[in-house]
């Protein structure tokens, strides 16, 4: 019975979030507090004053009929508000999106043709379905991988393009060419042909909007400029004198437009532009919602925001609109006006609808030059100089992405420039995660923390590495090469300690890489140790048997790691006779006798002596019938006191090198040290003094302890 129910339960679990996304408007209405009605109405009216002229102006950027801008403004605000996540973000026509629509469609159909208008609606539907699918599939997290530099670069380029594109309408010029270069050069060449009345209206609008904004930013300067310029055109009948006007608007509700949803050729032609618009729209919406939520404290759901943008665009396609997106300017005004819920956005749409039905007959006198002036001011406001400066002074990768997106927007097709910027963002992310910082660290002056300081001298025996990133398949090659290169540069550092506190994820490639490092260090007579291994990483290490391969004892406590390695793994002979530095706290009281090193020891030098294994020496001590071996421990007294071979005589290596020890005349000497290195140095020194009857405890006290002989009772 349970087996039969489990598939249904799983399907229910999967469908539950989807149903929650779709029924979001119901949740808004059910939980609506009537005390929010007044501030929402005021905010809606305030935004509507801005939305009305913007809807018309942004439609002109896309070379679409003005009423399509109003339809998109109404539908986008309603659906974006009811299905979105943010309480204050406002969705509708946007300047950069309108420019993308024009860039995509103008290369396919004649501007203003029925095919051009139908394609705009079809593109809105495609954008909406793409965004809706992203939200329902809960892929909102992907938007975090698109660099903010892409948006800044595109917005800057789009602002410049929009401003340049309005020059012809601003001065009443007519010449071929739509590229930025052709438009600028054409404007300069044909400037003497400017229509005087049109140019006066356009330039006056720019001055009027700028001055009013400086006096009081809350004044609806764009709306007032359009109203005043329309009155002037009407009074002086400037439309009959050659001043271009937008003509009569359709005073009706947004009609449903039949779309060629099975025209696969059209879908293929629009796909690249729709993908670019959809991606940019989602990134802008996420950025706007996040910026406002930092002030309101609202917890956002990125997948719900994707659904809201998708529903808004799909509805705009059906109801005679064109693609829309979140608007930062209108969202900021909505927030400043006191909007508390998404219904403020719905109210703004209702006010615009009412105004459109009332003023539609009067709108025919709106001069296009005035709209161009408003758009030029808006376009330059898109250029965020402060953000550009911060990115330029920040990471080089972000600056490069911003510049490439900017120049791509200016000189390439806009949809290609957007997709290029997004691909560069992903490439930069992959590059950064595949080359994590792998740095050698040393204790700070207070021996409390490990720091990256190339000016300080490292330990000649122990390399301490911090890995600041995850060990996944894309990064392990770089991490391994970096560590092995450090080993080649410092071959005496036979021990490696990895600080793993910044490694949150490891895959099987990472496990293989660590195994290779362990083999490399063990082949050199050293070993690898780890500290601060996270729980999730340790579980992977256990499940792949890496812990068994490395050894549980090689995963150390961060507080005790250096002490354990210093006393049990590092060779004190190197610390005393070869290393002039005091890297660790444990080194501070260690005697330094560099002046006694008359013999430069290398692994290539072999003293005249024999080797004896720990058990053989133990047998000679405890069960020998003849003379017991004469054992000389050449370690420091501190080490000797912590444990030694029975009957051993403590004669530090320094005493042998400085001739302070009286050498026995004929008796064979057995030399003992920590690992065998000091014993070999002592043997070389004794050889030079004529002593050839020498044997060395193989592996030193480390091998003696490993054989379980350290605790044996001494005779």
pLDDT tens, residue by residue, 331-375:
877 887 788 999 999 999 999 998 888 877 777 788 989 888 887
Residues 442, 467 within the same domain = yes
Say whether pLDDT at 714 is over 60: no
Average pLDDT of the residues in 193-212: 93
Last residue of a domain, one of 374, 408, 428: 428
**Who's near 570: CB < 8 A, 6+ residues apart?**
459, 461, 462, 495
Say whether pLDDT at 160 is over 60: yes
**Structural domain of 378:** 32-428
Say whether pLDDT at 300 is over 60: yes
Asked if 501 and 534 touch (Cβ cutoff 8 Å), the reply is yes
Residues 388, 475 within the same domain = no
For the ranges 6-10, 120-124, 159-163, the maximum mean pLDDT occurs at 120-124
13 in any annotated domain: no
Average pLDDT of the residues in 306-320: 95
In this structure, the number of other CB atoms found within 10 A of the CB of residue 655 comes to 16
Q: pLDDT at position 400, please?
A: 87
CB-count exposure of residue 360 (10 Å: 0-12, 13-18, 19+): middle
Q: pLDDT at position 693, please?
A: 87
CA distances from 62 to 57, 94, 101, 126, 328 (A): 9, 10, 6, 17, 19
Who wins on pLDDT, 288 or 123? 123
Encoded tokens for 253? 């509700």
> Is 459 among the residues known to form the active site?
no
Pairwise CA distance, residues 228 & 223, whole Å:
9
Pairwise CA distance, residues 639 & 290, whole Å:
61
Say whether pLDDT at 652 is over 70: yes
Q: pLDDT at position 545, please?
A: 93
- Would the pTM of this model clear 0.85, i.e. be above it? no
Q: pLDDT at position 156, please?
A: 86
Q: pLDDT at position 16, please?
A: 59
Residues 283, 182 within the same domain = yes
Last residue of a domain, one of 428, 447, 468: 428
Pairwise CA distance, residues 447 & 401, whole Å:
41
**Who's near 3: CB < 8 A, 6+ residues apart?**
none
Q: How confident is the model at residue 195 (pLDDT cuts 50, 70, 90)?
A: very high
Q: pLDDT at position 133, please?
A: 92
Say whether pLDDT at 271 is over 90: yes
- Helix extents (H) in 23-147: 24-30, 37-61, 66-83, 95-105, 114-136
Residues 333, 258 within the same domain = yes
Encoded tokens for 475? 């990064």
* Percent of the chain topping pLDDT 90: 39
Q: How confident is the model at residue 549 (pLDDT cuts 50, 70, 90)?
A: very high
- Residue appearing with tokens 């917890």: 299
Average pLDDT of the residues in 622-633: 78
Encoded tokens for 134? 């992203």
461 in any annotated domain: yes
Pairwise CA distance, residues 398 & 395, whole Å:
6
Query: Domain of 671: which CATH number?
Result: 3.40.250.10
Asked if 516 and 481 touch (Cβ cutoff 8 Å), the reply is no
Read off the pLDDT of residues 421-465 as tens digits, 9 standing for 90 and up: 778 888 888 888 888 999 999 998 888 889 998 888 889 899 999
714 in any annotated domain: no
Asked if 676 and 603 touch (Cβ cutoff 8 Å), the reply is no
DSSP string, 143-181: GGGS-HHHHHHHHHHHHHHHHHHTHHHHHT---S--SHH
106 in any annotated domain: yes
Least trusted range by pLDDT, from 78-82, 219-223, 689-693: 219-223
CB-count exposure of residue 545 (10 Å: 0-12, 13-18, 19+): exposed
CB-count exposure of residue 33 (10 Å: 0-12, 13-18, 19+): exposed
Residues 415, 481 within the same domain = no
61 in any annotated domain: yes
39 in any annotated domain: yes
Q: From the CA atom positions of the chain, what is the Rg in Å?
A: 39
Q: What is the torsional sign of CA 267, 270, 273, 278?
A: negative
Encoded tokens for 346? 């719905």
Q: What is the torsional sign of CA 277, 280, 285, 286?
A: positive
| Mean of per-residue pLDDT scores for the chain | 85
Residues 365, 470 within the same domain = no
Q: pLDDT at position 5, please?
A: 43
Q: pLDDT at position 89, please?
A: 92
Say whether pLDDT at 175 is over 80: yes
- Helix extents (H) in 524-597: 535-543, 546-550, 561-568, 572-577
Question: Which three-class secondary structure state does DSSP give residue 582?
Answer: coil
Please state the domain count of the chain: 3
20 in any annotated domain: no
Catalytic residue among 316, 575, 587, 673: 673
In this structure, the number of other CB atoms found within 10 A of the CB of residue 595 comes to 10
Least trusted range by pLDDT, from 5-19, 278-292, 354-368, 565-579: 5-19
Residues 132, 173 within the same domain = yes
Beta bridge partners of residue 630, listed in sequence order: 669
Pairwise CA distance, residues 710 & 642, whole Å:
10
643 in any annotated domain: yes
Average pLDDT of the residues in 484-505: 91
**Which strand (E) or helix (H) includes residue 650?**
strand 649-650
Residues 553, 640 within the same domain = no
Nearest to 71 by CA among 115, 6, 117: 117
CB-count exposure of residue 234 (10 Å: 0-12, 13-18, 19+): middle
**Who's near 661: CB < 8 A, 6+ residues apart?**
651, 655
Asked if 511 and 544 touch (Cβ cutoff 8 Å), the reply is yes
Beta bridge partners of residue 556, listed in sequence order: 531
- Residue appearing with tokens 């719905």: 346
Residues 393, 465 within the same domain = no
Encoded tokens for 617? 């020496």
Asked if 324 and 94 touch (Cβ cutoff 8 Å), the reply is yes
* Percent of the chain topping pLDDT 70: 93
Beta bridge partners of residue 612, listed in sequence order: 697
Read off the pLDDT of residues 83-109 as tens digits, 9 standing for 90 and up: 999 999 999 999 889 989 998 998 899
Asked if 374 and 172 touch (Cβ cutoff 8 Å), the reply is no
Residues 408, 442 within the same domain = no
Encoded tokens for 597? 């090193």
Average pLDDT of the residues in 181-201: 92
Average pLDDT of the residues in 531-547: 94
CA distances from 389 to 332, 365, 395, 420, 433 (A): 22, 42, 12, 22, 25
Say whether pLDDT at 1 is over 90: no
Beta bridge partners of residue 439, listed in sequence order: 466
Read off the pLDDT of residues 177-188 as tens digits, 9 standing for 90 and up: 777 888 899 999
Least trusted range by pLDDT, from 41-55, 64-78, 188-202: 41-55
Pairwise CA distance, residues 350 & 346, whole Å:
6
| Residue 242 dihedral angles phi and psi, to the nearest 5° | 110, 0
114-136 vs 302-318: helix crossing angle, rounded to 10: 160
Residues 351, 398 within the same domain = yes
Say whether pLDDT at 11 is over 60: no
Residues 513, 625 within the same domain = no
Last residue of a domain, one of 547, 570, 593: 570
Query: Domain of 537: which CATH number?
Result: 3.30.750.24
Pairwise CA distance, residues 505 & 502, whole Å:
9
Beta bridge partners of residue 440, listed in sequence order: 465
Who wins on pLDDT, 588 or 4? 588
Q: pLDDT at position 309, please?
A: 95
Nearest to 254 by CA among 324, 322, 308: 322
Average pLDDT of the residues in 191-219: 90
Pairwise CA distance, residues 692 & 59, whole Å:
100
Say whether pLDDT at 290 is over 80: no
For the ranges 114-123, 568-577, 651-660, the maximum mean pLDDT occurs at 114-123
Say whether pLDDT at 243 is over 80: yes
């Amino acid at each position: 019975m349970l087996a039969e129910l489990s598939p249904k339960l799983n399907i229910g679990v999967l469908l539950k979030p989807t149903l929650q996304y779709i029924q979001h408007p119901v949740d808004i209405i059910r939980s609506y507090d009537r005390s929010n009605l007044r501030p929402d109405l005021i905010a809606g009216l305030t935004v509507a004053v801005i939305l009305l002229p913007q809807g018309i102006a942004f439609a002109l950027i896309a070379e679409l009929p003005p009423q399509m801008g109003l339809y998109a403004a109404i539908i986008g605000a309603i659906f974006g508000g009811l299905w979105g996540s943010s309480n204050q973000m406002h969705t509708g026509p946007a300047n950069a999106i309108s420019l993308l629509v024009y860039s995509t469609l103008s290369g396919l159909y004649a501007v203003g043709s029925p095919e051009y208008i139908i394609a705009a609606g079809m593109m809105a539907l495609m954008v909406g379905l793409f965004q809706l699918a992203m939200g329902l599939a809960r892929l909102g997290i992907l938007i975090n991988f698109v660099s903010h530099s892409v948006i800044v670069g595109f917005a800057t380029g789009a602002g410049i393009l929009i401003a340049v594109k309005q020059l012809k309408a601003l001065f009443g010029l007519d010449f071929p060419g739509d590229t930025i270069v052709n438009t600028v050069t054409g404007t300069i060449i044909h400037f003497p042909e400017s229509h005087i009345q049109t140019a006066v209206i356009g330039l006056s609008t720019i001055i009027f909007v700028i001055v009013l904004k400086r006096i009081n930013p809350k004044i609806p300067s764009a709306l007032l400029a359009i109203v005043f310029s329309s009155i002037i055109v009407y009074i002086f009948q400037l439309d009959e004198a050659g001043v271009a006007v937008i003509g009569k608007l359709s005073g009706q509700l947004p009609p449903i437009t039949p779309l060629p949803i099975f025209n696969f050729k059209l879908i293929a032609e629009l796909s690249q532009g729709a993908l670019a618009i959809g991606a940019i729209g989602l990134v802008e919406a996420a950025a706007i919602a996040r910026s406002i939520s930092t002030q309101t404290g609202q917890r956002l759901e990125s997948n719900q925001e994707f659904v809201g943008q998708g529903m808004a665009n799909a509805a705009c396609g059906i109801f005679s609109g064109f693609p829309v997106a979140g608007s930062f300017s209108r969202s900021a005004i909505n927030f400043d006006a006191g909007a508390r819920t998404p219904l403020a956005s719905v109210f703004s749409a209702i006010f615009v609808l009412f105004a459109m039905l009332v003023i539609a007959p009067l709108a025919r006198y709106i001069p296009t030059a005035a709209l161009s002036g408003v758009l030029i001011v808006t376009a330059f406001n898109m250029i965020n100089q402060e953000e550009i400066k911060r990115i330029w002074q920040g990471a080089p990768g972000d600056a490069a992405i911003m510049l490439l997106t900017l120049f791509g927007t200016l000189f390439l097709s806009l949809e290609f420039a957007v997709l290029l910027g997004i691909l560069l963002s992903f490439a930069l992310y992959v590059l950064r995660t595949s080359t994590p910082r792998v740095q050698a660290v040393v204790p700070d002056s207070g021996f409390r923390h490990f720091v990256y300081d190339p000016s300080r001298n490292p330990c000649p025996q122990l390399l301490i590495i911090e890995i600041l990133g995850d060990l996944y398949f894309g990064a392990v090659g770089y991490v391994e090469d970096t560590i092995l290169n450090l080993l080649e540069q410092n071959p005496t550092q036979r021990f490696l300690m990895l600080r793993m506190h910044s490694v949150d994820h490891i895959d099987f490639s990472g496990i293989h890489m660590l195994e290779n490092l362990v083999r490399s260090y063990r082949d050199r007579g050293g070993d690898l140790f780890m500290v601060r291994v996270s729980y999730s990483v340790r579980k992977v290490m256990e499940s792949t048997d890496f812990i068994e391969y490395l050894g549980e004892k090689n995963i150390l406590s961060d507080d005790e790691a250096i002490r354990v390695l210093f006393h049990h793994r590092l060779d004190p002979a190197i610390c005393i006779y070869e290393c002039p530095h005091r890297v660790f706290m444990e080194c501070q009281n260690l005697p330094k006798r560099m002046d006694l090193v008359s013999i430069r020891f290398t692994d290539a030098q072999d003293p005249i002596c024999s080797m004896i294994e720990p058990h053989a020496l133990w047998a000679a001590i405890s069960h020998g019938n003849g003379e017991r071996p004469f054992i000389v421990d050449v370690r420091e007294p501190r080490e000797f006191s912590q444990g030694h071979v029975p009957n051993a005589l403590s004669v530090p290596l320094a005493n042998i090198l400085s001739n302070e020890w009286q050498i026995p005349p004929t008796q064979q000497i057995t030399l003992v040290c920590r690992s065998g290195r000091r014993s070999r140095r002592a043997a070389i020194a004794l050889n030079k003094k004529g002593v050839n009857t020498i044997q060395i405890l193989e592996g030193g006290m480390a091998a003696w302890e490993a054989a379980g002989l350290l605790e044996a009772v001494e005779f």
